[in-house]
Structure 1
């Protein structure tokens, strides 16, 4: 028999740390972004006026799923709307519960939300990769609860299949991709002796929890010398608004054995970096940059190639390159997957009904006058890897709608 425990204080989650870690290890697409460690750092820095509603699902007394949710007030042109959503803010590209059985866990969680206090106007689940790791679990859970929902394209993320040999991968790349990478391998050494260094400690459980702040600070120094140094987006590792969050989450990733720093040195000088999370064979690209003053011969391409080669040799499974900056990633990714947003409008909420009508009208015009799906323009031509802070994007962006059942 299933029951739900709701937790509203971040410190209360510590009682379930072992369960959370255990479940994350068997979660499809279970990246470090879904960990308790990452959520605590995110909540410390960005909780603002959000309210935590983490649902712990138990079956016959055993914890079988954890669904991190929050209540957030979003301003729209029609007024303020309260949504129940994932506490994620697009820091990465996909998110969801920690569980081996996403459909069962989400079905129980949604049922609980419908039967408990109604402190929300909309259920708004974002960053759901329906066609890959989620495998339709979110849609089926909504339908099982008899909910009429709408499905919108949220973004498109790029994956690299690492479960292959480097030679096979390189052969599969377009001719121009191979040429530009091999050119970087030939030309960069003209600027200095190359050293590729990867730091991936095993974490506290393995007695490997030295954060090597010297390496992280080298990444910051490179970032300041790259385009990130003049960026005003507020999302780079050195930006004053988020630099401490990046440092705190890096320390947490080190302790959890989920940090992955990659550096290229030219004649002993830090020249390029790529900072990732890694967990259960899943790599999340966080930030990267290079010092063009040291070399303009393809430092970035050289670093990515060395990183991927090493990951394939190590047995990593997949790398999520995030969304945006398609031009910079087009030679590397092996698949581009749609990521969706699922919305259920409470029929008893006036603002939810107004927004539902607004979305439907916008969708009708797109159906009639546009061709195909397209992500929200906010997500296009982004020079960084995964970017946070799309809280205001309430309007639907595609005509991809799915309706199932009916329930108030």
Structure 2
């Protein structure tokens, strides 16, 4: 089913086949919008849906100007339970495996956001909450949706999410490395020397789809570090998650941005980063290492070699993604803040949910503390 609103040039895509047919136009819009990461590209969104889309419904808002896509709000509808209440939720085509989201704006921002907002208003009887996750704090989508809520008197709430460290690659590798603390540089040298007693370490960067697919067994073995295995958060602990990362190899590698970075010593791979190299940036999506070599800090050494390689390639940034962690802060003090935005509709259920989530629940947490 394709619902078209001719006066506004807005389409709401519900059918998977219609979504598939948008691939070329979609990616063209992503490139014109100058999205600096691959997490909104059609192949990423399609793969996410194929892995995680069960029991959900596509609700992709597409804005056109003279036939050309000027905006996309990649959303879905789902029925969930929040605080014991049955809720009709509009949300991005994303979950914990999508580091960052945004609406794709490839035309006049004001007009395009207004068209998206009008579509959301027209469909408001069908949703209780619009929940936008992992929006950069500087997001224009955040600003536009806050304006939409204010214009229609809709309750809102925000939640601070992750601060994701990133390293700007300015100057030379030598000048950057000299700027790190003496203690940190000494630690790296010692770990490198320790590993060299076993064999000569080397960085292996796989870009070819066939080579990456053949190396996935090693990648999954390394990604299952002790705590991930115990907590059930590793890729192989969940069939849908493994399907997502496996399918992405086939689709993203065709577009040239997927990478597997390995630290190898002798003929053995001992650390991995499932990565994206996109728009002059390296994104460390999933990482892991061989516990047998933990005294050598294999992933720290992989990061060391990958950073050198990134400088040599002329990249502009390494994005560590995820949360701020002490090991990431050894490489950079800079980070990007992310927030979640909740916009609640006029329904009684939505207003009750807003009251529970943003008024009652915080008071209960204070009381328990």
TM-score when normalising by structure 2: 0.87
Q: Work out whether residues 37 and 252 of structure 1, in 8 Å CA contact, stay in contact via their aligned partners in 2.
A: yes
Q: Work out whether residues 103 and 138 of structure 1, in 8 Å CA contact, stay in contact via their aligned partners in 2.
A: no
Moved over 4 A (4+): 362-369
Q: Does 1:139 align with 2:146?
A: no
Aligned residues: 358
Q: 2:207 aligns with which of 197, 200, 204?
A: 200
In the aligned structure 2, how far is the partner of 1:305 from the partner of 1:215? Answer: 21
SS of alignment partner, residue 33 of structure 2 = coil
Any stretches of 5+ residues in structure 1 without a counterpart? 202-208, 370-408
Q: 1:70 aligns with which of 47, 52, 76?
A: 76
CA spacing shift, 1:21–1:294, aligned 2, 3 Å: same
Q: Does 1:118 align with 2:89?
A: no
Q: 1:239 aligns with which of 224, 237, 240?
A: 237
Structure 2 match to 1:169: 176
In the aligned structure 1, how far is the partner of 2:47 from the partner of 2:170? Answer: 31
Matches within 5 A, 1:46-125: 46-100=52-106, 103-104=109-110, 105-116=112-123, 118-125=125-132
CA spacing shift, 1:230–1:360, aligned 2, 3 Å: closer
1:92-128 deviations in whole A, cap 9, x for unaligned? Answer: 3211123345843333212211023621001111110
Structure 2 match to 1:354: 352
Greater strand percent: which structure? 2
Task: Give the superposition deviation at 1:13.
Answer: 1.6
CA spacing shift, 1:183–1:341, aligned 2, 3 Å: same
Task: Give the superposition deviation at 1:359.
Answer: 3.3
Q: Does 1:127 align with 2:131?
A: no
Structure 2 match to 1:218: 218
Q: 2:9 aligns with which of 3, 23, 31?
A: 3
Q: 2:44 aligns with which of 38, 41, 45?
A: 38
SS of alignment partner, residue 55 of structure 2 = coil
In the aligned structure 2, how far is the partner of 1:46 from the partner of 1:15? Answer: 20
Task: Give the superposition deviation at 1:25.
Answer: 2.1
CA spacing shift, 1:290–1:171, aligned 2, 3 Å: same
Greater helix percent: which structure? 2
TM-score when normalising by structure 1: 0.79
Task: Give the superposition deviation at 1:140.
Answer: 3.2
Any stretches of 5+ residues in structure 2 without a counterpart? 1-6
Task: Give the superposition deviation at 1:254.
Answer: 1.0
